[in-house]
Chain A
Amino acid sequence: MNALHEFLLRTGDNCLILGHRVSEWCGHAPVLEEDIALANTALDLLGQTKLWLTYAAEVEGKGRSADDLAFLRDAWDFRNVLLTEVPNGDFGRTMMRQYLFDQYHLLMLQGLAQSSDETVRGIAAKAVKEVAYHVDRSRDTVVGLGDGTDESHRRMQEALDYLWPYVGEMFASDTVDAEMAEGGISPDPASLRDAWDAAVADTMAEATLALPDSRFHHKGGRDGRMHTEHLGHMLTQMQWLQRAYPGATW
């Protein structure tokens, strides 16, 4: 197993799967302004996906393209964290998931912008500006809805409780991460946890939401061992065109 390839798949798949989930809101968001904002976020993530997966395919060296990786792999080949593939739920849960991921994504990209790998550094430098805005926006929404009406507060607390068991996987380092950290390519995800905890505690306090105190977390996404049942359903939508009409282009 090539650790760099594995790392690039993880990073790219997080963007791809979350980007697709967010794009599912297109035309369905509660207000026009949020609809466009969500579509912008989805497109940012899709743009980042293309950069990460193009590099992943290059490192792999088997002649596959970013499109091949996105549209022709099956569920067990994906390396995204489970948090990114859980269904959107209501708007509150979508924004809570976005914030929890954005906060991690920002810390990770800030680290990757110092990578010893020139391509990784370049991609991160571009993505970090987009993600700084994502977290700004999702944080505002979490605070606004958390510290909002009785109903919005209840829904945001439910969203946080539901998503919390998926948080830990983002920081669950393994041998791939150890190799990346050793080579100075990527920060060890576990090393980001304290900064993430501090930022999230601050946000949730402002949002008047109670942080669950459990450290239990689901796993199986970033190593591909076991995704949730939701990923396969999502791929039937996302990959439908290439599956039904192999090689179809615009």
Chain B
Amino acid sequence: MSSVNPGALPQTESKAKPRNEWPLWEIFIRGQHGMSHRHVGSLHAPDAEMAIKNARDVYTRRNEGVSIWVVEARHIAATAPSQKGPIFEPSESKVYRHPTFFDIPDEVGHM
């Protein structure tokens, strides 16, 4: 399966010329009542520790979160936009994968 990482940046140490920009980090925050971390945006930071601090300052100013995850953007592998058809369209015609064909007995109540 093909995947792309358009934001991939070279490792600083592997290239002769170091980059002048801080790396990009993707930020995930778990809200007060949320079960899972959700992607909220991205920012720049020199290292993981500062990325967490920056995320705290940029994305939790209004009491949004109880936990922060950060991951450097170049470590995220993504599906290729050109592969959208083969990857996602086959599931469009498979309505039976939605559990909507069962009769739920009244005694079960809200589900």
A144 and B57 contact, CB distance less than 8 A? no
B53 and A144 contact, CB distance less than 8 A? no
A140 and B61 contact, CB distance less than 8 A? no
Give B27-85 interface residues, CB cut-off 8 Å to A: 43-46, 49-50, 53-54, 56-58, 61
- Please count the residue pairs between chain A and chain B whose beta carbons lie under 8 angstroms apart in the complex: 28
Which residues on the B side are within 8 Å of A36 (C-beta)? Answer: 57-58, 61
Bound CA span A140–B57, Å: 15
CB proximity of A92 to chain B, nearest CB, Å = 14
Q: Which partner residue on chain A sits nearest B61 by CB separation?
A: A40
Give residues in B with beta carbon < 8 Å to A. 22, 43-46, 49-50, 53-54, 56-58, 61
B44 and A140 contact, CB distance less than 8 A? no
Bound CA span A24–B56, Å: 21
B54 and A37 contact, CB distance less than 8 A? yes
Q: Which partner residue on chain A sits nearest B47 by CB separation?
A: A144
Which residues on the A side are within 8 Å of B22 (C-beta)? Answer: 31
Q: Which partner residue on chain A sits nearest B46 by CB separation?
A: A144
CB proximity of A218 to chain B, nearest CB, Å = 32
Q: Pull 28 A–B residue pairs with CB atoms less than 8 Å apart, ordered by A.
A: A31-B22, A31-B44, A32-B43, A32-B44, A32-B58, A33-B43, A33-B44, A33-B45, A33-B54, A33-B57, A33-B58, A36-B57, A36-B58, A36-B61, A37-B53, A37-B54, A37-B57, A37-B58, A40-B57, A40-B61, A133-B56, A136-B53, A137-B53, A140-B49, A140-B50, A140-B53, A144-B46, A144-B50
Bound CA span A141–B58, Å: 17
Give A5-59 interface residues, CB cut-off 8 Å to B: 31-33, 36-37, 40
Which residues on the B side are within 8 Å of A32 (C-beta)? Answer: 43-44, 58
Bound CA span A36–B58, Å: 6
Cβ contacts A95-138/B at 8 Å (1 or 0 each)? 00000000000000000000000000000000000000100110
Interface size on A, residues (CB 8 A): 11
Q: Which partner residue on chain A sits nearest B45 by CB separation?
A: A33
Which residues on the B side are within 8 Å of A140 (C-beta)? Answer: 49-50, 53
7 nearest A-B residue pairs (beta carbon): A37-B57, A33-B54, A36-B57, A40-B57, A36-B58, A33-B43, A137-B53
Q: Which partner residue on chain B sits nearest A34 by CB separation?
A: B54
CB proximity of A33 to chain B, nearest CB, Å = 4
CB proximity of A150 to chain B, nearest CB, Å = 14
CB proximity of A207 to chain B, nearest CB, Å = 14
Which residues on the A side are within 8 Å of B50 (C-beta)? Answer: 140, 144
